[in-house]
């Protein structure tokens, strides 16, 4: 009886342990989580190294689901197709973006979700899609890799341009330029005293110019006063010229009167004097030829024929 009782107890314990093991296995594999999940598709155009099935899906750092499946896109082998199981209560909207985020340099990789705006319109699947598709954004490492590639290309281009600049001909020109600079520095060193004197003269010139600029307002003022005086003098000369013109007009009128009233009698008198002088000249000639004319007078002229 005791042996049978022991077997019964052992069998009961084994059944209990088996049921517990099955329950733990179901809890670990399926779980007793009553949350409902929605499947979303994500197409990554970069490597998903470090990402595994059941990797976390986090929305702004809060875990909201897990990666259900990872496989290559059959229509485009450059892309990786991810299926994400996300809690149904999580608002996956049209502004939601998915990106790969690595926890440190050697840490695990997970899918990070972020909303670019406060638009709450839910993301729905297309007419030919099996699942709603969440758009992606490049990861930090992808952006860094792209930047490094661009930098490498730019450095390579710069290196090529530098090689072009420092070819044999340009190297000779640079050497010639350096030689000319050396000669120029020697010339400057030899003429240092002259250059110093030139700088001193330039300083003195600038000082005189500054002084002249300070005196310029006074000179301008004096010049303005002189111009006023010249204008006043010109006005006075114009008035005097007007008066002289008036005086000349009056003198001309007087001369005209004198020429009209005095000159004609004088002309007549001169004519009479000329006649008298001619008669006196005739008498003088007769007296020189015949002095008796003074006593007898002038003999009458001889009678003409028939008188």
Give the SS3 label for residue 100: strand
Four-residue CA torsion sign, 261, 266, 267, 271? positive
% of the chain at pLDDT higher than 70:
68
What distance in Å separates the CA atoms of residue 52 and residue 68, rounded to the nearest whole number?
Answer: 9
Do 46 and 142 touch, CB atoms closer than 8 A?
A: yes
Check: CB of residue 83 under 8 Å from CB of residue 66: no
Residue ranges of the domains in the chain? 34-138
Q: Which long-range contacts link 21-28 to residues 24+ away (Cβ below 8 Å)?
A: none
Is residue 86 very low, low, confident or very high in pLDDT (cuts 50, 70, 90)?
very high
The confidence band for 239, taking pLDDT boundaries of 50, 70 and 90, is confident
| pLDDT at residue 224, rounded to an integer | 75
Q: Round to whole Å and give the CA distance between 95 and 118.
A: 8
Mean pLDDT of 257-278: 67
Whether pLDDT at 262 is above 90 = no
| pLDDT above 80: residue 171 | no
Average pLDDT over residues 35-51: 89
pLDDT one-digit tens code per residue, 121-137: 888 888 888 999 999 98
Least confident range of 9-13, 218-222, 282-286: 282-286
Ramachandran assignment for 50, one of left (phi > 0), alpha (psi -120 to 50 degrees), beta (any other): left
Strongest mean pLDDT among 29-33, 35-39, 195-199 = 35-39
Compute the mean pLDDT over every residue in the chain, rounded to the nearest whole number: 77
Instruction: Work out the average pLDDT over 88-104.
Output: 88
pLDDT at 26 (0 to 100)? 65
* Residue 115: its H or E element: strand 109-115
Q: What is the pTM of this model?
A: 0.43
**Which pLDDT belongs to residue 99?**
92
């Amino acid at each position: 009886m005791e042996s049978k009782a022991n077997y019964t107890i052992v069998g009961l314990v084994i059944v209990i342990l088996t049921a517990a093991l099955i329950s733990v296995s179901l809890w670990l594999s399926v779980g007793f989580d009553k949350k409902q999940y929605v499947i979303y598709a994500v197409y990554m155009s970069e490597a998903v190294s470090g990402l595994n099935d059941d990797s976390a899906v986090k929305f702004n750092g809060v875990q909201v689901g897990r990666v259900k499946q990872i496989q290559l896109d059959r229509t485009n082998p450059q892309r990786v197709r991810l299926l994400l199981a996300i809690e149904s209560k999580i608002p996956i909207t049209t502004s939601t973006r998915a990106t790969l985020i690595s926890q440190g340099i050697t840490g695990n990789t997970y899918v990070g979700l972020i909303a670019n705006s406060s638009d709450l319109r839910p993301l729905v699947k297309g007419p030919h899609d099996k699942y709603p598709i969440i758009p992606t954004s490049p990861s930090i490492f992808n952006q860094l890799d792209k930047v490094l590639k661009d930098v490498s290309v730019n450095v390579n281009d710069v290196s090529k341009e530098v090689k072009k600049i420092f070819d044999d001909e340009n190297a000779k020109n640079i050497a010639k330029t350096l030689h000319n600079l050396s000669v120029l520095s020697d010339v400057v060193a030899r003429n240092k005293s002259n250059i110093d004197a030139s700088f001193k003269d330039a300083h003195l010139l600038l000082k005189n110019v500054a002084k002249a600029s300070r005196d310029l307002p006074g000179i301008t003022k004096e010049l303005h006063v002189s111009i006023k005086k010249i204008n006043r003098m010109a006005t006075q000369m114009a008035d005097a010229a007007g008066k002289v013109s008036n005086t000349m007009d009056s003198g001309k009128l007087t001369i005209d009167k004198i020429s009209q009233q005095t000159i004609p009698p004088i002309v007549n008198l001169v004519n009479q004097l000329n006649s008298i002088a001619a008669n006196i000249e005739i008498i003088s000639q007769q007296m020189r030829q015949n002095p008796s004319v003074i006593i007898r007078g002038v003999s009458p002229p001889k009678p003409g024929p028939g008188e």
